[in-house]
Amino acid sequence: MSLSPETSSGEGVRINRFLAAAGLGSRRKVEELVLSGRVTINGQPVRDLAARVDPERDRVRVGGRVVPPPRRVVYVLLHKPVDCLTTTHDPEGRRTIYEHLRGAPMPILPVGRLDRMTEGLLILTNDGPLAFRLAHPRYEVERVYRLWAAGEIDDRTVRRFRMGVRIEGRLVRPTEVRVVHRAEKRTVLEVVLHEGKNREIRRICRELQLRVDRLVRVQFGPLSIRGLGPGEWRFLSEKEADSLRRSVRLGVS
C-alpha cells in the first residue's frame, strides 16, 4: 500500500490510512492503535480517526517510535504527442516523451509503448506490480484507438480488418472495429485491442493497403484521454489509480 502525490498534498491523508500504508497493519488494527492513544502527531496524542497527517511535514510516532513515511508511488497520465519516442533516451537525439514530463516526479516508466507516430494515452508509474499486469496479455486490459485513414473504406475492407490478417505466420486480429465516420476522402475507425502487440494496427493497415493519416489511443482500461491536449500530463486521482488496480485484480490502496 502506498500514497500518491494527490493524496499526500493539501489537507494530507487520514492517520489510519497513513499508518496502514506504512505497514503497521490492517485498517482495523491501525484504528485500534489510534483509539488506544499510542499515536502522536508532532508530539500531540491523537485519538481521532479523522485526524490528518502531511507525510512531508508531520512527524508521526507510535509508542514513541517514529513512523517513516511510506514510499510515494506515482501514477501519471500523459497525452503522448506525435513524432516522439516512448523511451528514456534516444542515441540519435530524437525527441522522447520525457521532454513533455517536466515537473513530474522521477523515475517513472511507461506502461507499454506507443510508436513514434502514434499519439494518445500513456500511463507512467513506479508501481512495478501494477505496470507488469497492465502490460501483460493475460489480463486483457482494453485499449481503444481512433484511426483516421485516407479514402472511403468499404464494408468488405472493414470486415477484413475485423477478421485480422496473417503477418509472419501469425494471425493479428483486433478485438473490435467500428466505423465512426465515412466519407469520400477519409474514414474514421474505432479499433479495440486487448494486448499491445508491436504496431499491430499499422501492420494490419499496411496489409490491407490502407494509408494511416492519424492514430490516437483514446482509452486504456478505465482511463480516457479526454481533457488532455498533446504533450500535457496530469496525476491520476486516487479513485483512478484504484480503478486501474481493480482492472487487473490487484488490491486497492
CA distance 101 to 125: 12
Contact 49, 39 (CB under 8 A): no
Contact 45, 36 (CB under 8 A): no
CA distance 16 to 1: 12
**Burial of 50 (C-beta count, 10 Å sphere; 0-12/13-18/19+):** exposed
Strands (E), 137-183: 143-150, 165-167, 170-172, 176-182
Catalytic residues: 115
